[in-house]
Structure formats: structure tokens, C-alpha cells
Structure 1
Amino acid sequence: MAEAAPGRSTSGEAAVRGLTIALTGFVIITLADVAVKFALPTIGVVGALLWRGCAGATAVALMSRGRNLWPRNLRLILLRSSLHCASSIIWYVVWVRGYRLADSYAVAAAAPLLMTLLAIPMLGEKVGWRRWTSCLVGFCGVLVMLQPGGDLWRWETALLLVAVCAMAVSRIWTRVLAATDTPTTIAFWLMLIHIPFGLAVLPFPIFWPEVGGGPNLFPSFTLVLLLCFFGASNAVAHMLFSRGYALASVATLAPLEYTPLLWGLALGFVIFGEVPAWTTLGGAAIVICAGIYNVHRERVRRAEERAKRAAEA
């Protein structure tokens, strides 16, 4: 099926495919986040950037056999990749400072509303009242989590919200680039740009690991394997995101930004022993319900389009 250009409506069937592909990407990216959060105390932000760039770009190059890597829209590719990389630095910094995995995903749940709003002027997408409702309900869940005096009421949250805004713009540009560039091209340059960013922050001790007196780019063999997984899984996830945004609108995919809350809650508890506050859990339940409803609406649209085509045949 041909990829839809930005701003054009996509069929219900394509939208459901896009939802499935993007959802797979979110599962993979969550596993990658767990890997890097585990490794950050040893490698620091510098190590995370360089490993993500080297391992990720290599993985894309191998999977594509070096083909279709040069972008058609080089300017936007570089701008999007740089913005996303700057956002990643913020995420890594707040994780190093002890921010819980599920809590960071809770803050990121503000992204769908921003994406839905930005998609109107940037892509010309039309958003129906049902999608508006699902995003607004999800945002109410975010407000439950961010209440004053709660666990998330800290200065790192404000910094993370800046990264979430950048992430929302990056998602919009993914939709734009899907009309001109392949998923492998988009993912390759996103991974590659992490290398110069990592080298740029290398001289600053704030981005080094907390112990060791300097960047430790080659820790134990086990951690090296984990970091290879971290880079490669990031590459695969962003290839899936690019394909998903080519098939479905931003407003359709926006509520999937809520799904890492599910994986983050479970993995954060099992691996890091993190127990979120009840406000985080309550807000997560609200935003997840909003996302599930949006998926249901896409299935209804798909059934309606099939019935319409059958009647016209």
C-alpha cells in the first residue's frame, strides 16, 4: 500500500496497520530505555549518546545493506534528528538524577495533546470530536499525576516537559518526512546524529558517569552487549515509527504515546524496584483508557469503510 502524504486522510485499514506497527515500536523503545537507564550510572550521558549513535547507525546500515540511506529532505532530516537528540539528552540527564522510569513516561503522556494540536497548523490534519475527547481525557490523567506536592512536583519535571514538547514536534516532522524519505533513511540519520552530539558534550563532566572520574565507554562485556541491544533496538523502533506515521495520521497515533506507561510501570518495578505513587497509577489508568478508546474508533472507521466499499461494488 502506498504511503500517505502528510495532511491527507488515510484509510481505516492503513490506520490500523499504522497503529500496530507504531505500537510494536513503542514496546521495543521501552525495552531500549530500560537498557540505557540500567547502564547510565556506568557510562553516563556521553556513553549513551555515542553507543546509541554507533550501534544504531550500524544496525540500520546492515539491515538496509547500505541502500536508501541518503535523504531527499536533508535539511529537515538534520533538524529533526538534532531536535530529537537534544530531547534524548534531557531524558538521560533526568534518569541519571534518579527520575523513575514510569514517572518519566507519565510526564511524556502530555505529548499526545501537543501532537494533536500541532498537527492542525503543521500538517493540516482534521481532528474529530471523538479524538479530541480521547486526548483531553488523557491530559486530565496527566494533571492527576502532576498535582502540586506530589512525587512528580520537582524541577526535573519542568526540564522533562521541554523534552516532551521537542518530542511532539519531532513526531510531527516524522509524518512530514514519511512522504519523501524511507524509514531506514529517517532512522539512520537519527542514530548517526547522536555521535557528534556525544562528542560535543564529552568535555563536560556533568555528562560523565557519577563514578570513575571520566567517561567509561567500554565497561564490562555484559554491559557492552546490553548497549549493543540498546542502540540496535532504538534503530528498529524508529524505523517502525517512521512506517507507522506514513500509514496513519498524527492524531490517530498520538494516544499510543500513553502505552509505555504500561511497560514502564511493570519493568520499573521488576528491574529497578520502583513503586510509583497512587496518583501516577491513577493518572496512568485514565490515559491508557483514552488510548484504548482511540484504537477502538479506528477499528470502527475500518469497518465503516469496508461496508461502504461493499455497497458501492
Structure 2
Amino acid sequence: MGKPAHSVVPSGEEAVRGLALVALGYGVISAADAAVKWALPEVGPAAALAWRGLVGGLAVLIVSRGRNLIPVNRRLLALRSLLTCAISVTWYSAWLLGVSLADSYAVAAAAPLLMTLLAIPLLGERVGWRRWTSTGIGFCGVLFMLQPGGELWRWESAMLLAATAAMALTRIWTRVLTRTDGPYAIVFWLLLLHVPVGLLLLPFEVFWPAAGPPPLWPGALAAIALLLFGLFNALAQLLFARGFALAPISAIAPFEYTPLLWGIGLGYLLWGEVPAWTTLGGAAVVIGAGLYNVHRERVRRAEERAKLQVKGTHAVTP
């Protein structure tokens, strides 16, 4: 599990296993989000960040037995970890300000579209007119969700959209990191950095809508929620790190949409949240565009493989 992803070329069976790990990871991370959303009114975003890093980092340290934790690509790992901290604080703040779980996930559905665009400069991928068109249609779906007078017509949505763009970048960076670093190193340093960042942000908790600076040590129920939050985060990040190393980005992208289903279910069960039809309609357009992009990526890959096979046949023909 500690081997860099580039050392072995994943087989078809391993790719399927990678997709299963990613699918499970999104379910686990959705449960983690529900747990922290439950505890946020009592502890605030900064304390939640510190709890995530402390509990999750210790869990990874125990599971890894302290092995394979030395990072190789330290600069990129540090940048990704800091950016993830900023994304987490943004999400926690939005939930604390009243954005529902499903609504935040609907905005996050734009991440695969942004990944398509970011893969051009970062991974050297080429995007044809069909994918440009579907990506444009997908962003029209985002605008439909954020239309004036709609449920998501609030400044927190713009904040979440910016965080979604940053999240798409971290997804690309995760793929790059798996070429040099194992999952334990990637996840351990990601979570560990949450502790000092959370502690540094504690003095600013007064700016969030809470009754004074929330305590680092909450009540019993909130403490249990935060423990589950940290453990689920560690598990989900390990699943992502391993899954991204085994499966191609184009195959993983559709699973980016499954948290919306988890968010609708968990939000309704725990808080009675029901998304507006504009949110669900816009999300459907975004998801449809994203799935079409995945289809076009698979077609393009198949065409490239066919051309290589033809060239190989001509090369061996006397």
C-alpha cells in the first residue's frame, strides 16, 4: 500500500477495485460532513479543523504503524494540504451560516467540469469542441442553480463555488501526487497540517455566528460527532489516495456526483432539509454535462488505443 502509484501499471481488475474504493470514500466523506455539520454550532470551523487533523492524523499513524510517511513531493503536498484547509474552512462556514448539506453538494457538482478544464494546463490533456460545449452547458446549469431569487441566491454560494474550483485543483494534484507518494504519506501530512491551521484560526472564531469563541473540548454528543468526523475523514482520504492511484480520472469523475445523493438523504434524515427544485434541476444539468464529458473522454481514449494498435500492426508487417 505504500508503493508509489507509478511503480506498477494498474490492471483492469485493479482499476475496478480503485473505483469501488472511490465510491466507498464518497459515502464515508458524506457521513463525515454530516457529523461535523452537527457539531459546528458548538465548536465552530477552526476547532473542527483542529479535531479533524488530530483524530484523523492519529488514525493514519496507527494504521500505517509509522511506516511510509516520508513524503517525496513535499512542495506539492504542502500546497495541496494548505489549500484543503482553506476549502474545509469555507465549507464549515457555509454550513454554520445555514447552507444545507444537499445545496452545498449541488454547487460542488461543478468540480468535475472544472477538472476537465484544469486537466488541460496541468495534465496536458486536449479538449475537443464537444466537451467544450458540454462544459459550457454544465456551467449554465450552475447559473440556473444560482439564479436571482432562488434558494442558492446568497453570498455563501459564491464562496462555495470558489472553494469548488479550488477542490477541483486538489483532485488534479492528488492524481499527480500518487505518481511519487503513497497514500499514507499523502493523507497523514494533509490531516496533520489541519491542527496548526485550526489552532491559528481559533482567535478568529468570534467572526462566526456563535456565542463567543467555541471551546476546543465540546459536550459529549458533539465530541462523539467530532471523533467520528476525524476517523471518517482519515478513512475516506486513504480510500481516495489509493483509489485515485488505481483508476483513471475519467472513470472516477462520475462518482463526484454521489455525495449529492448522500447529502439529500442525510440532510433530510438529520435536519429535515429538502432542496428546492431549482437546485435539483440545475444539478441534473451539471451532472448530465459531466457524464457526457466522461463519455467523450472514453471515446477519445479508445480511438487513441485503436490508432496505436494499427501503427503496431503496420510496424511488424514485412
TM-score by length of 1: 0.85
Matches of 1:149 and 1:208, distance apart in 2: 25
Matches for 1:60-75 after TM superposition, within 5 Å: 60-75=60-75
- Aligned equivalent of 2:213: 214
What does residue 272 of structure 2 align with? 273
Hey, what's the Cα distance between the residues in 2 that align with 1:47 and 1:140?
Answer: 36
The alpha carbon displacement at 1:237 in A equals 0.7
CA shift digits 1:209-254 (9 cap, x unpaired): 612x322222222322221110011111111111222123333323
Moved more, 182-191 or 290-299: 290-299
Q: Which amino acid aligns with 1:255?
A: P
SS in 1 for 2:66: coil
Which has the larger displacement, 127-136 or 15-24? Answer: 127-136
Match in the other structure for 1:146: 146
CA distance in 2 between counterparts of 1:194 and 1:71 reads 17
Q: Distance in 2 between matches of 1:240 and 1:299?
A: 24
Is the radius of gyration larger for structure 1 or structure 2? 2
> Deviation string for 1:120-157 (max 9, x for gaps)?
21112355777767656544433331222211111111
1:18–1:200 Cα change, 3 Å: same
Code of the residue aligned with 2:279 in structure 1: it is T
Q: Does the Cα contact within 8 Å between 1:15 and 1:298 map onto a contact in 2?
A: no
CA contact (8 A) 2:87 2:167 kept: yes
| 234 and 181 in structure 1: CA distance in 2 versus 1, 3 angstrom threshold | same
Residue of structure 1 equivalent to 2:242: 243
* Superposition RMSD in Å: 3.1
Report the 3-state secondary structure (helix = DSSP H, G, I; strand = E; otherwise coil) of the residue aligned with 2:144: helix
Query: What is the distance in 2 between the residues matched to 1:120 and 1:143?
Result: 23
What is the percentage of aligned positions where both structures have the same residue?
Answer: 62
C-alpha change, 1:31 and 1:94, in structure 2 (3 Å) is same
Structure 2 counterparts to residues 79-90 of structure 1, below 5 A: 79-90=79-90
Question: Letter of the aligned partner of 1:236 in structure 2?
Answer: L
Conserved 8 A contact 2:21-2:240: yes
Report the 3-state secondary structure (helix = DSSP H, G, I; strand = E; otherwise coil) of the residue aligned with 2:19.
helix
For 1:59, the equivalent position in structure 2 comes to 59
CA distance change for structure 1 residues 18 and 144 in 2, over 3 Å: closer, same or farther? farther
Tell me how far apart the structure 2 counterparts of residues 94 and 42 of structure 1 sit (CA, whole Å): 15
Q: Which amino acid in 1 is paired with 2:277? A: W
What letter is aligned with 1:162?
A
Contact 2:44 2:214 in 1 (8 A): yes
Which amino acid in structure 1 is aligned with residue 171 of structure 2? R
Cα–Cα, structure 1 residues 12 and 153, in superposed 2: closer, same or farther, change >3 Å?
A: farther
CA contact (8 A) 1:46 1:207 kept: no
Cα deviation, 1:92-144, whole Å, max 9, x if unaligned, reads: 11111111111111111111111111112111235577776765654443333
Q: Superposition pairs for residues 296-307 of structure 1, below 5 Å?
A: none
CA offset digits 1:178-225 (Å, max 9, x no partner): 0111111111111101011111111113366612x3222222223222
User: Cα 1:130–1:27, aligned 2, differ >3 Å: closer, same or farther?
Assistant: farther
Q: TM-score, normalised by structure 2?
A: 0.84
- Distance of 1:129 and 1:64 partners within structure 2: 45
Deviation at 1:24?
A: 1.1
Asked if 1:157 corresponds to 2:123, the answer is no
Alignment-derived partner of residue 193 in structure 2: 193
Partner of 2:179, secondary structure, is: coil
Matched, 1:173 2:176: no
Aligned to 1:125: 125
Sort the Cα spacing of 1:159 and 1:77 in 2 relative to 1 into closer, same or farther, 3 A.
same
Which structure 2 residue ranges, 5 or more long, are not aligned? 314-318
Q: Which amino acid aligns with 1:173?
A: W
- SS of 2:193's equivalent in the other structure is helix
Number of the residue aligned with 2:282: 283
Cα distance in 2, alignment partners of residues 68 and 266 from structure 1: 37
Q: Partners of 1:133 and 1:232 in 2: how far apart?
A: 40
Aligned length: 303
Distance in 2 (alpha carbons) for counterparts of 1:128 and 1:3: 32
| Structure 1 gaps, min length 5 | none
Match of 1:228 in 2: 227
Separation of aligned partners in 1, 2:217 and 2:297: 46
Q: Tell me the CA shift for residue 11 of structure 1.
A: 6.2
**Aligned partner letter, 1:182:** G
Amino acid at match of 1:27: G
